[in-house]
């Protein structure tokens, strides 16, 4: 069998229709992941309770130490077995929840590392001006650490985009699901999976370009 260029072009257009689903899962997971990561990073920095830190460390260790697919299966197929109310949660929504928790584990480490890179004199100077620790953290430390955190956060977002490719196993109708259906129906596996691969690649290139622009602007502002 030869490469069918006409079919290939058509499949790119058809698969592309499901791009909003893929992007929305990744964007929501990124936003919620940043929120989770920031909260955990601040708690780790400010709360000295051994038990609180143990809980946070266990959460981070689990979500960083197990495959995303396993996490999706545990939450989507496992939780309804224990709690019937979870059976009403759809595959799309559960994908966002799990990927947010997964991203939050990685982002907490990234954000905390970026915050620790800001010299402690900054906090002391802010407090000498009458700021409380939380206010100083929000207004002084976090804005400065954002510059350092942008590249690794961008890499995490790219990983989230790529990670959405396995959500079709739960029944999410994303670009990977469209490629799988097209390949199974036509037996033109190369055309379908090359099409979806190029779409993922294009998104990754775009994110990398935008990240460089953000870094350049932030460097100029300091």
Reported as a single tens digit per residue, the pLDDT across 56-98 is 999 999 999 999 999 999 999 999 999 988 889 999 999 999 9
With beta carbons less than 8 A apart as the criterion, state whether 161 and 203 touch.
Answer: yes
Quote the pLDDT of residue 165: 94
Which of the listed ranges 2-6, 29-33, 82-86 does the model predict with the highest average pLDDT?
29-33
25 CB-contact burial (10 Å; exposed 0-12 / middle 13-18 / buried 19+): buried
| pLDDT tens string 134-192 | 677 766 777 777 778 888 889 999 999 999 999 999 999 999 999 999 999 999 999 99
pTM of the complete model: 0.87
Structural domain count of the chain: 1
Q: CATH number of the domain that 213 lies in?
A: 1.10.3720.10
Quote the pLDDT of residue 89: 92
> Within 10 Å of residue 58's Cβ, how many Cβ atoms?
10
Q: What is the C-alpha to C-alpha distance for residues 95 and 77, in angstroms, rounded to an integer?
A: 12
Going by pLDDT thresholds of 50, 70 and 90, the confidence category of residue 1 is low
Q: What is the C-alpha to C-alpha distance for residues 74 and 70, in angstroms, rounded to an integer?
A: 6
Write out the two tokens for 97.
């929840």
Q: How far apart are the first and last CA of the chain?
A: 58
Taking the CA atoms of 194, 178, 74 and 91 in sequence, report the sign of the dihedral they define.
positive
With beta carbons less than 8 A apart as the criterion, state whether 26 and 164 touch.
Answer: yes
Domain that holds residue 26: 5-221
Write out the two tokens for 91.
């595959």
Enumerate residues 6+ apart whose C-beta is below 8 A from 171. Answer: 91
Quote the pLDDT of residue 122: 66
> Is 107 a residue whose pLDDT tops 90?
yes
């Amino acid at each position: 069998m030869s490469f069918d260029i006409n079919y290939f072009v058509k499949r790119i257009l058809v698969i592309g229709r499901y791009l909003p689903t893929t992007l929305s899962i990744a964007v929501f997971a990124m936003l919620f992941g940043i929120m989770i990561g920031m909260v955990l990073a601040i708690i780790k920095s400010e709360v000295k309770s051994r038990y609180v830190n143990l809980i946070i460390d266990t959460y981070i260790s689990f979500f960083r130490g197990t495959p995303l697919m396993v996490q999706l299966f545990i939450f989507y197929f496992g939780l309804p077995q224990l709690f019937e109310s979870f059976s009403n949660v759809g595959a799309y929504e559960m994908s966002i929840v799990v990927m947010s928790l997964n991203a939050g584990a990685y982002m907490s480490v990234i954000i905390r590392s970026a915050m620790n890179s800001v010299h402690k004199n900054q906090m002391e100077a802010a407090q000498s001006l009458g700021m409380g620790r939380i206010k100083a953290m929000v207004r002084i430390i976090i804005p400065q650490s954002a510059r350092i955190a942008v590249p690794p956060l961008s890499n995490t977002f790219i990983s989230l985009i790529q990670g959405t490719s396995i959500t079709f196993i739960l029944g999410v109708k994303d670009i990977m699901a469209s490629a799988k259906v097209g390949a199974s129906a036509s037996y033109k596996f190369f055309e379908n999976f090359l099409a979806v691969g190029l779409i993922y690649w294009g998104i990754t290139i775009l994110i990398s370009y935008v990240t460089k622009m953000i870094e350049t602007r932030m460097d100029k502002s300091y």
